[in-house]
Amino acid sequence: MRDYHAHEIGNVAVLGHSGCGKTSIVETMAYRAGSIGQIGNIQSGNTISDYSAEEIARQSSINLSIVPIEWDNCKINLIDVPGTFDFVGETEAALSVCESALIICPSYAGISAGTKQAMYKARDKGKIIYINGLDNPNSDYPTKLQQLKDTYGKGIAPIQVPIMDNNKMVGYVNVAKMEGRMFENGQTHVAPIPEDMMDEVLPIKAMIDEAVANTSDELLEKYLEEEPFTKEEISNALRQGVTDGSLIPVLCGTDRIGISIILNSMCAFFDSANHPKNALIVKDLKKDDEKILECNEDSPTSLFVFKTITDPFVGKTSYFKVTSGTLYAGMTLYNPKEKEDEKIVKIYQPMGKNLIEVDKLHAGEIGAFTRSTTCHTNDTLCDPRSPILIPDTEYSKPYYKKAIVPLGKSNEEKIANAINRLLEEDPTLVYEYNEETKQQCLSGIGDIHLDTVLNKLKARFKVEAKFEDVKIPYRETIKKEVTQRTRYKKQSGGHGQFGEVEITFKPSRDYDKPYIFKEEVFGGAVPRTYFPAVEKGLIESVKAGCLGGYPVLGIEATLIDGAYHSVDSSEMAFKTATSMCFKEAMPKAEPALLEPYMKMKVIIDDEFTGDIMSHLNTLRARVIGSDVFEDGLIKIIAEAPMSEVMNYAVDLRSMTQGQGVFEMEFLDYEFAPANVVKKILNK
């Protein structure tokens, strides 16, 4: 590949529902552009994009893949993104460095969950929709177009109508120019529009004219006066509309036919990397203020690391976008987060799994370097004389949690290092060690996401493990006030041990604290010097209640009386007496089990409201409010026991075909009902 500069470079995320044909279309685009010599296929496991052993086995993308192509004097870095929602972090990483998005959607009727997710994630990007699979027997192009328009408004601008013969696309009508095109012997030539297609073409021409009219007052006036638009006006309006987000061109074809039209349209309508719209707001570390960073070669060199891959043999590979200036091999840049210099000995242009060494990359390019010891995803590397910090990409929070258990002693020793390597490359994966339950916990987007973690551990790091359910952090409390007097006396030659306490225990209902300690001792029955020892005994005691041995919350303990011996009393004696007093009092104070409650915000399409409400009822949840948004989405706010919603990520995906999203945070503890208490204590 020749040198390309920022005004010739475009970065395009290829998005869509799992199985819609993204990888096959990227493969064919690479072939048409001459980047590869033959077209691979998913079934054979020889595509550029899906190259890992697990992707080949699943026949589905798991990681983003970068495929650069050259077309019409443009350099397009395609980033093929997994369509499964569990790998939404890959989508977010790709969109952080792409100016535009190509959204692939199937040709059958209905707007799939993946299409909706892609449109939402790429809402601030220039977009082209490609309706794939016109050779599918269930294809329904006119209905699909109307559904897209009904869902996304007047900005839907269909450029093509397919010409079909025996369920095969043999040509198309360029609606913008009102010209026919026919495919023959691998070539395309102009042809008349078939007469029997005019009833289908004219409504779509009206659709594109309406979309063009909405791009400016001048064109709207012309449209209202029923004056025809020129080809130049339509072309310019389409490009302007894609840039400002008011228009979304719609193309159609299969994973082999219509590919050149996609390439032509991307070059014609998508912004280059250096378009002013794509400038970043960054922090100027010298001035401690924000500034605008334009993607051009005149500025000092900077780059943003958007993806990390770890391998036990190769080491770490960091994928980046050159956000300004020119990066040369051997350059030393500054990492402001780590406050360290990073020497980039070699730089590469990624092509699927392959890394092609290059000597320089200009602003706008996607590249990679290897064997970094300090660089992580979301890091900025910059000229040390002009230190800046590019804002982090915000990744979806993981709420699907499982405890990971290594199988065998050898795996116990290796698992921590292996998990740390995976955490480096996946910001949507979170690890924590729970001191209370002694569990190693991993949180991911869903069950498929965590399943791939087990597979990666085994394939890459030779670590075998399994998942178990996370133990719920139940708590205990009391419902009744009790006063208990307890004496601890021990005589064993020499000094003995003596301490006596009388303590009133009552519920405080303050579940933010294990206990509240007070003293109301009169007459010096217990000297003040022993008050701390009494509290220490309380601290030890609340670690385990009398029902299931869970920590105790929400009690108020008041020391009201006691007795001491001038020789035998000690801090240890009063601490022990307090512990004994606590254990004797708890069973008398109506001990109760508390369960943690979560606050949930669930965002769904209106059509799923009934199903979601019904399901929340089965989870013992309380719906406390809802909001309706302009785009037909509903936000439901609910409170639910943690034990019931540990698998909610999977449940919600199933009920909404992957369209629903939710947030969850700890709320408080509440009394567990009798049937739940019985079930827990039986365990």
> What's the pLDDT band for 493 if we cut at 50, 70, 90?
low
Question: Residue type at 202?
Answer: L
Among 318, 298, 300, 299, CA closest to 308: 318
Q: Output the pLDDT for position 630.
A: 65
Q: What does the alpha-carbon distance between residue 201 and residue 158 come to, in Å, rounded to a whole number?
A: 10
Q: Output the pLDDT for position 109.
A: 83
Higher pLDDT, 237 or 387: 387
SS3 103: strand
Q: What angle do CA 535, 538, 541 make, to 5 degrees?
A: 155
> What's the pLDDT band for 403 if we cut at 50, 70, 90?
very high
> What's the pLDDT band for 427 if we cut at 50, 70, 90?
very high
> What's the pLDDT band for 59 if we cut at 50, 70, 90?
confident
Q: Can you spell out the DSSP letters for 589-647?
A: G-EEEEEEEEEEEEEEEGGGHHHHHHHHHHTT-EEEEEEE-TTSEEEEEEEEEGGGSTT
pLDDT in tens, 531-562: 999 999 999 999 999 999 999 999 999 999 99
Task: Report, as an integer, the average pLDDT of 342-355.
Answer: 94
Q: What percent of the chain has pLDDT over 90?
A: 71
Q: Output the pLDDT for position 270.
A: 96
User: Are 6-276 and 400-468 equal in CATH topology?
Assistant: no
Q: Considering the chain, what is the average pLDDT of its residues? A: 92
Among 469, 558, 554, 491, CA closest to 521: 558
Residue 423 predicted with pLDDT over 90: yes
Neighbour tally for 55: CB within 10 Å: 21
Residue 670 predicted with pLDDT over 80: yes
> What's the pLDDT band for 373 if we cut at 50, 70, 90?
confident
Structure tokens of 126?
């220039």
Crossing angle for the helix pair 231-244 and 259-269, to the nearest 10 degrees: 80
Q: What does the alpha-carbon distance between residue 268 and residue 71 come to, in Å, rounded to a whole number?
A: 11
Lowest mean pLDDT among 48-62, 263-277, 501-515: 48-62
Sheet holding 187-191, edge to edge: 160-165, 168-174, 179-184, 187-191
Fold (CATH) for 6-276: Rossmann fold (3.40.50)
CA 575 to chain CA mean position, Å: 49
Question: Of the ranges 205-214, 251-260, 652-661, which is most confident?
Answer: 251-260
> What's the pLDDT band for 58 if we cut at 50, 70, 90?
confident
> For the chain, what are the domain ranges?
6-276, 279-389, 400-468, 475-589, 593-682
Lowest mean pLDDT among 136-145, 238-247, 487-496: 487-496
Q: Output the pLDDT for position 523.
A: 83
pLDDT in tens, 603-636: 888 889 999 999 999 999 999 999 887 666 789 9
Q: Can you spell out the DSSP letters for 449-492?
A: HHHHHHHHHHHHH---EEEEPPPP--EEEESS-EEEEEEEEE--
DSSP H or E stretch at residue 23: helix 22-32
DSSP H or E stretch at residue 269: helix 259-269
Q: Which CATH class is domain 475-589?
A: alpha beta
Residue 327 predicted with pLDDT over 70: yes
Fold (CATH) for 593-682: Alpha-Beta Plaits (3.30.70)
> What's the pLDDT band for 133 if we cut at 50, 70, 90?
very high
According to CATH, the superfamily of the domain at 279-389 is Translation factors (2.40.30.10)
**What kind of architecture, by CATH, is found in domain 400-468?**
2-Layer Sandwich (3.30)
Structure tokens of 189?
């030539």
pTM: 0.88
pLDDT in tens, 289-310: 999 999 999 999 999 999 999 8
Q: Can you spell out the DSSP letters for 413-432?
A: HHHHHHHHHHHHH-TT-EEE
Q: What does the alpha-carbon distance between residue 266 and residue 13 come to, in Å, rounded to a whole number?
A: 12
Task: Report, as an integer, the average pLDDT of 323-327.
Answer: 97
pLDDT in tens, 89-125: 999 999 999 999 999 999 988 888 788 889 989 999 9
Alpha-carbon dihedral sign for residues 461, 463, 465, 470: negative
SS3 337: coil
The position carrying tokens 């032509």 is 264
CA 514 to chain CA mean position, Å: 35
CB 87 within 8 A of CB 449: yes
Q: Output the pLDDT for position 262.
A: 96
Alpha-carbon dihedral sign for residues 270, 273, 279, 280: positive
Residue 460 predicted with pLDDT over 70: yes
Strands 633-641 and 622-628: antiparallel
Q: What does the alpha-carbon distance between residue 219 and residue 235 come to, in Å, rounded to a whole number?
A: 13
Higher pLDDT, 74 or 177: 74
Q: Output the pLDDT for position 631.
A: 63
SS3 547: coil
**Residue 140 backbone dihedrals phi, psi, to 5 degrees:** -145, 80
CB 488 within 8 A of CB 580: yes
